[in-house]
Chains A and B, each alone.
Chain A
Amino acid sequence: MSDPRTILERAARRIDPRTDAFERLERRRERKARNRRITAGVVALFVAIGGSYAAFSVFRDSNGGTIGGQGDTGFRPSPTVAEPLPSVADVSCTDAGTQISTPIVQPQPDGVHIMVENTTGADLGLQIQDFGGDNAPMGTTEIVRPIPPGVYGLNCTTSSKAAEWSTYETFEVQDPRGIWVSTDLTSCMSASGIAAASSTSSTGGIVGVQGTPVEVVTSTISGLLPTDLVEPAGYPSTTDEANVRVVRDGKVVATYHLFPDDHGGWYIDSASACDGTNLTSLGSSGGPSATYPRGWFESCPDVAGTLPLEQGSEQDGADVALRFARAYLAGDAAMVADLADPSIPKEAIRTITGTPDGISVFASGPEDPGGMVEFGCGPEVKARTLAVVFDDGTNSASMDFTLFLVLRSDGWKVWGAH
């Protein structure tokens, strides 16, 4: 019985399809439709109540406290029947390009849900302008990203089409239920980044601190006052990143962005605080600083001798990044040395995972994912940096990585990895 097919057939016989399978599917479809209607109804009700109250307040304030003011004209605010917002964005990647059938969506507690229908016959990436990207393989895929409320460009892209920045379709995230808790500082005359605190394990992975994100921030930040409120921010149910903010006297004075480590803990990836708050990361050199490198990067490239990014040249950069990553994974030290930027130490790049044949590029462009390049190495480096996002070939998005390159007179050079 060593034939795999025989084994698989025997195992498959353990499960019998239900005779009422289609009826069960119909009931599931009806439940889904009903839940959508209920959600839409609740949202519409809230919006209508809010709209009516706002209209009432405006007219009362502008007319001495009475509706209609002097000589009531008989106007009464009528409830607004708002179009319910969908809670899942429907995006189609077709040969004709990117189509968004839901230009306005509302988030769910774990972020914005995007249902991508890819009918092109090729695996694609989904690029969200100024935010980052994700895989959009053939078929239908649901992507969940912690996108704050706002207007964004969105594009189905292959690495060869990543240069077509102008083909972004616009969609908007509106948050009528107030799920998103802002991560913006609200009261700063000026603000600075804070060096992220973390340690590195013997295997090169980052080791964070055990506890919830709020506990991690509370235990690793110095300068907190007894009256400070440390609370979760962003979306409440995200699992692969977290935001925490510090509220002082009712104003947000510091925000922290965290990632889970591989040991059940969290580490602070980046942070910013209003100047003068004295909120510093434990272990950092002390307070807000403009000294680079910081955050994720241990080394930054020397911008002297780098060339400006030119639209259309990033395909060459993506090719170099792919050659570099494959050489790195194959242990080809000579090739790695040739393609690495000479201004950084050779041990600066180590966050590359996968196999030489398994990895692939799914997006490249000048976007700065999470603002990490600007925070870590400053705006000059950011302006000269091309980011190339890789799929490491596994099912784990957390193992995907990004290479950062600058263009010099002798070609693209890799200077960092994340």
Chain B
Amino acid sequence: MVRMNESQSAVTEPFTTPERAEDTFEGFFGRNHARLLRGLYLVTGNAQEAEEIMQDAFLAVWERWDRIREMDDPTGYLFRTAMNRSRSRVRRASRAARRTVGRVERRDAFADVEDRDTVGRALAAVSPRQRAALVLTEYLGYPSEEAGKILGIKAVTVRALASQGRAAMKTELESDDE
């Protein structure tokens, strides 16, 4: 079961209902899709891509629902699947871009924000990996151990990435104040 931070209640549409083995997939979807979609949007910076990845992840879970519903943490499995797919898409996109037009830097919507958009610029200052760590720990409320499992990295690395991300945000916001 995913443990949530105390402050998680402040997050939009918090996930607080424990999974039950008798749950339907539709119920599981209803409880998790908004949170997953918003989390993926924050990671990818692209609403359309976030929805694609969300649907892919839910489909993968749906096809194996009989087994996944019996797991201790179906939600964790869903988020891991979504993050795996997000990484796979980045890898494929970069390979395809490299083959067709040479080396192309991947951009996300946050990198194209207007100067007056403080929130967007704060997020654009954070690398995608740092952003993923921040989203999982700060926005979704996962402990760093759980976030590490989802991202396939060590908890200490999650903490380091989140710390770097916070620092980058802070620097961006301070420069905005000047």
Contact = CB atoms under 8 A, between A and B. Distances in A.
A264 B103 contact: yes
A334 interface: no
Interface string A11-37: 111110100011011001100100000
Contacts of B111: none
Interface of A is mostly: mixed
A264 B42 contact: no
A135 B151 CA distance: 12
Given A24-B55, A240-B95, A7 B123 contact: yes
8 contacts: A2-B170, A7-B122, A10-B119, A22-B30, A32-B59, A141-B88, A142-B88, A395-B129
Nearest to A358: B157
Interface of A: 1-2, 4-5, 7-15, 17, 21-22, 24-25, 28-29, 32, 115, 117, 119, 123, 135, 137-142, 239-240, 260, 262-264, 357-358, 393-398
Nearest to A212: B99
B154 A137 contact: no
Contacts of B53: none
Contacts, number: 140
Contacts of B120: 11
Interface in B37-77: 37-39, 41-42, 47, 50, 55, 57-62, 64, 67, 71, 77
B11 A25 contact: no
Interface string B135-159: 1001100000000011011101100
Given A11-B123, A239-B92, A357 B157 contact: yes
B30 A11 contact: no
A123 B80 CA distance: 11
B55 A28 contact: yes
A14 B41 contact: yes
B98 A260 contact: yes
Interface string B74-94: 000101110111011011101
B16 to A, nearest CB: 17
Contacts of A396: 91, 94
Q: Which 3 A-B pairs have CB atoms at the shortest separation, nearest pair first?
A: A264-B102, A139-B80, A239-B95
B136 to A, nearest CB: 11
Contact of B98 (A119, A239, A395): A239
